[in-house]
């Protein structure tokens, strides 16, 4: 394999299940590492920078990525989607076929049609997204017919060449000055017909039945993360290769935490005495471990405290995000007679300097009122 044919996912140091956000983050990190401006005179770094740029340019485009996932580098070489370079075309029919598809030129039987890709939507909890999990799913999907092994022919019988196209898979029709080739309507381009269709599949080579699959959900997944199970999609007709199964994940809302990427956010109420005097509180983390928070004296509602490394794990990477704790100072609604007495004593000692924000606000109100009445 040449340098330009290194696996694109390997170049970006990502798994094939990586979503757009992970790909973009990986590209930025590697681009900064190998950028020519940071490595003056380093030809190897310059070459690697070009390679990762080429890889990201392909994988960020959904259509290019789908083609690459299916065919690899061959998807962008001549004959598979407009690659680079010259090369000889066999004849004018090949040229027409490369530009307009199989309606023009190009003899031979039709290539095997790959089975369809399938989509499965799965809902997971935030706890499962944090830890990762292994689970089973059951789906109804077309699978290769066992009695005929996907051939479509009744066991003990065979196939014969198609008399309509002479086994070529295509028929020609004269239209004015042109001879147009089309897929044979009798054999559907296979060049052969089944003498006796299989009773189990009706001659199609595949049947619908339930299939149980094991799915590995890695830690750090988020809504929109896609997991690909290669070859677990719909079986292709007449024994052709199956498609893939794509599992799209949706993470359910959590009772305590909100999520923003790898950052977790939670709102914690504290008493107004703790807010005034300061103190220490404990809250449970997403991993089940207790997190101790030091509350500074005089903290206000809306103030955010940050606990580094207590958030979600980085998908297919190392480390964890942060936990952001938003403080909400709670005013008591049920007070005993003694508590009210103590608060009135406190109120009697207030000078206004204890709450500078309130004092500043009312000073501005007083100045505005004076300006209006002068």
Domains, in order of start, for the chain: 3-87 (1.10.287.110), 118-251 (2.10.230.10), 258-370 (2.60.260.20)
Q: Which residues are annotated as a binding site?
A: 145, 148, 162, 165, 184, 187, 198, 201
Would the pLDDT of 199 be above 60? yes
Please name the residues in contact with 273: beta carbons below 8 A apart, sequence gap of 6 or more: none
CA dihedral sign of residues 249, 253, 258, 264 = negative
Q: What is the mean pLDDT of residues 230-254?
A: 90
The Cα angle at residue 46 between residues 42 and 52, in degrees rounded to 5: 145
Q: Which of 83-87, 215-219, 224-228 has the lowest mean pLDDT?
A: 83-87
> Count of CB atoms within 10 A of residue 369's CB?
10
Q: What is the pLDDT of residues 62-108, one digit of tens each?
A: 878 887 887 777 666 544 443 333 333 333 444 344 444 444 444 44
Contact criterion met (CB below 8 Å) for 122 and 214 = no
β-partners of residue 179 are 174
Q: Which residues are annotated as a binding site for Zn(2+)?
A: 145, 148, 162, 165, 184, 187, 198, 201
β-partners of residue 139 are 211
Per-residue DSSP letters for 78-147? TTSS--SS----SSHHHHHHHHH-TTSS--SPPPPPPPPPEEEEEEE-HHHHHH-EEEEEEEEEEEE-TT
Say which residue, 324 or 34, is predicted with more confidence. 324
Q: What is the mean pLDDT of residues 141-166?
A: 85
């Amino acid at each position: 394999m040449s340098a330009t044919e290194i696996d694109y996912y390997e170049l970006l140091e990502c798994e094939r299940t990586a979503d757009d956000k992970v790909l973009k983050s990986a590209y930025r990190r590697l681009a900064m590492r190998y950028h020519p401006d940071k490595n003056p005179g380093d030809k190897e770094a310059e070459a690697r920078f070009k390679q990762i740029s080429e890889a990201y340019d392909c994988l960020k485009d959904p259509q290019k990525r789908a083609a690459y996932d299916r065919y690899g580098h061959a998807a962008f070489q001549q004959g598979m989607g407009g690659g680079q370079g010259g090369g000889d075309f066999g004849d004018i029919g090949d040229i027409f076929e490369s530009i307009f598809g199989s309606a023009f030129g190009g003899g031979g039987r039709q290539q095997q049609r790959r089975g369809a890709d399938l989509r499965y939507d799965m809902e997971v909890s935030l706890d499962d997204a944090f830890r990762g999990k292994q689970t089973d799913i059951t789906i109804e999907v077309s699978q290769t017919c066992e009695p005929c092994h996907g051939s479509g022919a009744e066991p003990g019988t065979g196939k014969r060449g198609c008399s309509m196209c002479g086994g070529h898979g295509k028929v020609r029709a004269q239209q004015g000055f042109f001879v147009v080739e089309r897929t044979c309507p009798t054999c559907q381009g296979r060049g052969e017909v089944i003498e006796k269709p299989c009773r189990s599949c009706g001659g199609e080579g595949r049947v619908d039945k339930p299939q149980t699959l094991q799915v590995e959900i890695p830690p750090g997944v988020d809504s929109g993360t896609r997991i690909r199970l290669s070859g677990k999609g719909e079986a292709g007709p007449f024994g052709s290769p199956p498609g893939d199964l794509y599992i799209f994940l949706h993470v359910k809302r959590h009772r305590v935490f909100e999520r923003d990427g790898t950052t977790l956010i939670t709102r914690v109420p504290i008493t107004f005495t703790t807010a005034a005097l300061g103190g220490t509180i404990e809250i449970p983390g997403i991993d089940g471990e207790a997190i101790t928070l030091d509350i500074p004296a005089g903290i206000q509602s809306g103030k955010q405290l940050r606990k580094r490394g207590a958030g979600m794990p980085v998908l297919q990477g190392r480390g964890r995000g942060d936990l952001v704790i938003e403080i909400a100072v709670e005013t008591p609604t049920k007070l005993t007679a003694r508590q009210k007495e103590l608060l009135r004593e406190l109120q009697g000692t207030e000078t206004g300097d204890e709450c500078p924000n309130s004092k500043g606000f009312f000073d501005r109100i007083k100045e505005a009122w004076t300006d209006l009445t002068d």
